[in-house]
Structure 1
């Protein structure tokens, strides 16, 4: 596991920020009393805590990689009871690797120990047809760098990812978006990386896997990507692009967008190349999202015998909602909206319009309202997000309640203490990663005040009280609306403290564009 020095720096950095000093792991940031008060979550304990999802899906015969996300003081001793034949634990890295050939459910007990205490968690590996049994968590290059991604930038981001200890909280994927592509070639006549920006994607993937992280990539079934790079089909049998092709003047796909799906598909060739490199995640980007292209890529991925998440993007929700039943069984996630940006209007319109998608989400198949716009974002020109702190709490809370994929889009090399605190609250992450994967339902809505409730595996409810109005307001969560009764234990999840016990309702003031996120658990009076 990582040495004490890195963890010490991060832990002290958080304390420095709270106590008024101006450095976070050596980086100068502006600090004042008003900013300090915005950090709601207490500094994490140095005792071991095992984080992330409690279940992991894999297909029989696929290469297996799971990194145990455990926070706390290093050195850390890790052990796993019940590890099935075919898998091994590297106690130094926390990586579980190998191959499982037999379908079934394997029940494990993960243990972590340091000088301050121990932690234990039951964990399941389910080997079968489905992967990504909880929403994927990671980082994507686009909202930071646009199409100007390179191997150097991606590795800097990966190292910053590790330095910030995001892997200890369940964050796993480092995904390259549009802009990595060069021309076709190699053994499979597959898309090769742009040689001016990438030296070796195989080496890149190997480096990520060694860190316990996973690698993602981008493509499209069109002849060209949104960024004008070579796509997954061609009108030429050799896969080359017509020399007459010009941006925004290609044949239109159903008169919606200026790119065409070519006569010849190279899904099989590209998938074989990605598997050989060690890719774990594919963002497949076009619109309208149509079943034939989805099924073709799903078949191509499965034929490689490598578990690669198929994430569908970019979508016009007016079209996908009409054929989602034909698409959902063949993908692990699908965009429910157009592109997000860091404005309250855009983010809130997306987040609060997901109700109609709720019934399509289940373990291994998720609605995706797009990436997170916290930290430094900018699509090639990074700037501090335009969302206020309250709006960022709303953003993370709502995505977690919706069981949405959590994909950061920020410059990881510029993580400040507020953003870090925002994305490493393990109780909030637990809501997103709950194994039931049931999106929250809106149980109350009036005058821009909303109450969302999400059932959790342990029988409790995650409840979000949202204020979309321009003024602070009092919001009430009534037991009748929540479908509960009797004495309840109420926990403020962001502040990680038990607030109060009420008989029939919980009432609190919520800031403009803000949220109070609760976990409500019935009290057993017989104990």
Structure 2
């Protein structure tokens, strides 16, 4: 009898182990979906909550023509695409004209996105992008719409309603479109499932979910969203927002998201840019393949057209500061989401986005890490895989032009090396012992260092 019970227990354990193994095997590897840092355009810096379909298409057309071959492929419609009468420099919370379907899911405002008419949603726009070899993304707020709760709309595929899954606790402080979805409530997961079923039917490739990670980190809601995405079988990149994501949750966000914010909204001023040096150093160890700490959007080119902050303008960054921004984001391997209106790019802005040497550092470098931070000097290093070559990023954060001196021994280089300036593509010559390029204030240099074999 004892022998039979032991055999039964052993058999049950083997079944459970097998089932667990099958589940692990079938679980999608979400991090393969973003093998390199995502690169694209987002409508927020230009148009705030008011972007139109024509503007999205204009930016997509520019990307397809000028940037796609360099790896830029995501086109993301940011916040409140479901409000027909939103406004620049803030949000219309007085009398918002919400558009939603019978299951309490927001739909594109047809006056702004005409191709969404007839219940088509964003599928026609996604098709337009896919036909050009691009990928489609949207911004959403976590939770269930307040208006869906007030109308107590049904949750698709269930006998439950929006009023069964919500809580007013922890409602977003800066935008009041949504209530919290309570994890574990019957219908909560089903609501998120219904959202991503809809988005997958549109052809969604990227979702930025806001009010999810700061000041409160909603771990269970992140897991519900991840589960809903995976259930669709579609490779939808998950970006969590806003920042700074609490670093105490770094392991969790790295597991469930493809990118997560390390700062709040980033705009075109030196103070905010300079703060990124410490932020990126803090987050550097949490980067992994397919999981990227996100320094936020690139406020470059023509921004502020109908935005939350500032009047229409070319970026307030100097050219040197723009080099610093692109160099730092690349050596840190942050996602690159351009904020300017692409059709208004000048030649300099385009050159920042199409430098193959710099983008190679972003996409292929390994072992990226800070080397030193001195009073007005910062250095980062990385390796080119398989060659023994090293990448070196130097930054002058001070207010005067200065030579940034580095002993090559600090890089483990004791013999003569050849150094190339990656921004210009020009060989700088042979060096041994020390390398000391002169950099303008707030400027940066990015270099490739190759050992000379004798």
Compute the TM-score of the two structures, normalised by the length of structure 2.
Answer: 0.78
Give the unaligned 5+ runs of structure 1. 1-102, 104-125, 243-249
Q: Which residue of 1 aligns with 2:109?
A: 194
Q: CA deviation at 1:411?
A: 0.6
Q: CA deviation at 1:482?
A: 2.1
Summarize deviations over 1:424-454 as a string: whole Å, max 9, x none.
Answer: 1110011111164x4x322122221111112
SS in 2 for 1:484: coil
The counterpart of 1:403, out of the listed 333, 340, 346, is 333
Residue 125 of structure 2 corresponds to residue 204 of structure 1: yes
Is the Cα–Cα contact under 8 Å of residues 221 and 285 in structure 1 kept in the other structure?
Answer: yes
- Using the alignment, how far apart are the partners of 1:234 and 1:307 within structure 2? 33
Summarize deviations over 1:491-519 as a string: whole Å, max 9, x none.
Answer: 10001011021122211111000011111
Is the Cα–Cα contact under 8 Å of residues 100 and 106 in structure 2 kept in the other structure?
Answer: yes
Is the Cα–Cα contact under 8 Å of residues 289 and 315 in structure 1 kept in the other structure?
Answer: no
Give the unaligned 5+ runs of structure 2. 1-24, 83-97, 117-121, 156-160
Q: CA deviation at 1:327?
A: 2.1
Residue 261 of structure 2 corresponds to residue 261 of structure 1: no
- Using the alignment, how far apart are the partners of 2:297 and 2:388 within structure 1? 29
Pick closer, same or farther for the CA change 1:435–1:443 going to 2, 3 Å: closer
- Using the alignment, how far apart are the partners of 1:482 and 1:400 within structure 2? 19
Pick closer, same or farther for the CA change 1:335–1:133 going to 2, 3 Å: same
Is the Cα–Cα contact under 8 Å of residues 465 and 477 in structure 1 kept in the other structure?
Answer: no
**Deviates further, 154-163 or 363-372:** 154-163
Summarize deviations over 1:151-177 as a string: whole Å, max 9, x none.
Answer: 1211111112234x1111110011010
Q: CA deviation at 1:362?
A: 1.0
Residue 322 of structure 2 corresponds to residue 421 of structure 1: no
Q: CA deviation at 1:461?
A: 1.7
The counterpart of 2:70, out of the listed 163, 166, 169, is 169
The counterpart of 1:450, out of the listed 378, 392, 398, is 378
Pick closer, same or farther for the CA change 1:256–1:140 going to 2, 3 Å: closer
- Using the alignment, how far apart are the partners of 2:365 and 2:430 within structure 1? 27
SS in 2 for 1:217: strand
- Using the alignment, how far apart are the partners of 1:128 and 1:269 within structure 2? 20
- What does 1:56-455 align with in structure 2 at a 5 Å threshold? 130-163=32-65, 165-181=66-82, 182-185=98-101, 190-198=105-113, 199-200=115-116, 201-223=122-144, 236=152, 238=154, 251-253=169-171, 260-263=179-182, 265=188, 266-286=191-211, 287=214, 288-317=216-245, 320-378=246-304, 380=307, 381-434=311-364, 436=366, 438=367, 440-455=368-383
SS in 2 for 1:501: strand
SS in 1 for 2:403: strand
- Using the alignment, how far apart are the partners of 2:299 and 2:400 within structure 1? 23
Q: Which residue of 1 aligns with 2:413?
A: 484
Q: Tell me how large the CA RMSD over aligned residues is.
A: 2.7
Q: CA deviation at 1:183?
A: 3.1
Pick closer, same or farther for the CA change 1:478–1:373 going to 2, 3 Å: same
- Using the alignment, how far apart are the partners of 2:175 and 2:219 within structure 1? 17
Q: Give the paired residue count.
A: 384
Summarize deviations over 1:374-399 as a string: whole Å, max 9, x none.
Answer: 11111524310000000000000000
Larger of the two Rg values belongs to structure: 2
Is the Cα–Cα contact under 8 Å of residues 31 and 290 in structure 2 kept in the other structure?
Answer: no
SS in 2 for 1:179: coil
Is the Cα–Cα contact under 8 Å of residues 444 and 481 in structure 1 kept in the other structure?
Answer: no
Pick closer, same or farther for the CA change 1:400–1:215 going to 2, 3 Å: same
Compute the TM-score of the two structures, normalised by the length of structure 1.
Answer: 0.68
- Using the alignment, how far apart are the partners of 1:144 and 1:270 within structure 2? 27
Pick closer, same or farther for the CA change 1:383–1:234 going to 2, 3 Å: farther
Runs (4+) of structure 1 exceeding 4 A deviation are: 126-129, 233-237, 239-242, 253-260
SS in 1 for 2:404: strand
Q: CA deviation at 1:289?
A: 2.9
Q: Which residue of 1 aligns with 2:8?
A: none
- Using the alignment, how far apart are the partners of 1:316 and 1:261 within structure 2? 20
